[in-house]
Structure 1
């Protein structure tokens, strides 16, 4: 498709993108690319949660390793995602691992910090009361502290999810699918409707994820605290 002139370029490009028959059905359809994108993001979030959340809960409950975690998460956030994809492709070849490695590295830090800070933020008197009635440390952590920390943990998951969805476009650079396929292929062929349409879908998906987690956090917060509760991860959300 050629370029258009005038201030209505973007609206025309989006209209062309949506009206393209190839984007309605088949492997390059919008539904299929969105599904691929969500699968990449979901797998990365699941792996990051399995790795980061248990460690964060342990650190938050014991109070040990907080300084080290803060330093390591700062380093992890500075890692270039595309550079990690390139390195993963060189080491493991083209495949899901080349995408999951950088996405997990991106998602793990906010999950680790949120789970640790959520547990650390529980009232010490509540913990003492739980221990006083005979609960073990494990029972105190999972039945008392974790429900209180859930809104903060969800806020961290929201940050991780939005970042991963926005960054999962790098899957296209590894020869895989997802919405990044529209962006990368569109740029390569100067097909601006496809590029703009793909970028718009990524933005809409990230916004929808943000709104979904906002609702989850609201209903996970204890009654009476929903209006005034703030989360450490809110400042990092997109």
Structure 2
């Protein structure tokens, strides 16, 4: 009987070799991971939406260059007022999102700990009240309490956007497999170690989805800051409505929509890149 080379076997008459034996080259690993695994971010994801936004903004700019504006419309758009309102809108979105994250994520973690789980329904009810309240009514109450300015607008935006991040943080941590947590404790990991190295990484996809929702909510809610003297692109929209200048209204609306789509696109990229590689489904 002929002798087979070392490492080669036969099953039902079909010879094969053990994977990884000497002489078999390992599968090459690409920049996105092992061979055969699709990249996290495709070129379509990187190019299509920015290209569409660039075309829309370029078309709007060309239209305004050739449009005949009266003195009222020119005054509303002159002296860098458009860039000022856009910068104020971005500041409102960034600052409010920062406060939402430092409030909602730690609070969500605390409410999933054993000692504070009983307070989770109360906290969720309060967050639901904050979002169920009409944004313009909430802003009006805050202006009465805090006065006119960005401070009242920021408080209103934060209250309105806490719910999605808080609820997703709690849901993501509660969805973790208890056997994995017990295994982590069984190998001697501390409670903080289990939280930082097991629970939070597993909950990252849901948390990031909540952050993405909050970002888009903040961009939209920031347009109402104009009613409390907070500035933003809402100033252009209200100016266009009150003065019946369609050109100013269209510009403010297009910039708001473009900013919301851009923020959502950036958040979707972050959601893909920050998701732990081990949680991705392989085909």
Deviation (angstroms), 1:221:
2.7
Which residue pairs with 2:56 in the alignment?
Answer: none
| Larger deviation, residues 172-181 vs 64-73 | 64-73
Aligned-residue RMSD, C-alpha = 2.7
In 2: Cα distance, 1:147 partner to 1:18 partner = 52
TM-score (norm 1): 0.81
Deviation (angstroms), 1:224:
6.6
Who wins on radius of gyration, i.e. which is larger?
Answer: 2
Residues 114-148 of structure 1: CA distance to partner in whole angstroms, max 9, x if unpaired? 11111112221221121112222122112221122
Greater relative contact order (Cα 8 A, min sep 6): structure 1 or 2?
1
Deviation (angstroms), 1:13:
10
* Secondary structure of 1:122's aligned partner: coil
> Structure 2 stretches of 5 or more lacking a match?
1-58
* Secondary structure of 2:81's aligned partner: coil
In 2: Cα distance, 1:17 partner to 1:85 partner = 36
* Alignment partner of 1:134 is 2:182: no
* Secondary structure of 1:68's aligned partner: helix
Which residue pairs with 1:231 in the alignment?
Answer: none
Deviation (angstroms), 1:163:
0.5
* Alignment partner of 1:175 is 2:229: yes
Larger helix fraction of residues: 1
> Structure 1 stretches of 5 or more lacking a match?
1-10, 229-238
After TM superposition, the structure 1 = structure 2 runs for residues 209-228 of structure 1, keeping only pairs within 5 Å, are 209-223=263-277, 225-226=279-280
Q: 1:25 to 1:107 in 2, by over 3 A?
A: same
Which residue pairs with 1:233 in the alignment?
Answer: none
Residues 157-199 of structure 1: CA distance to partner in whole angstroms, max 9, x if unpaired? 0101101101101111122321111101111111111111111
| Larger deviation, residues 53-62 vs 197-206 | 53-62
Which residue pairs with 2:112 in the alignment?
Answer: 60
Which residue pairs with 1:163 in the alignment?
Answer: 217
In 2: Cα distance, 1:98 partner to 1:18 partner = 39
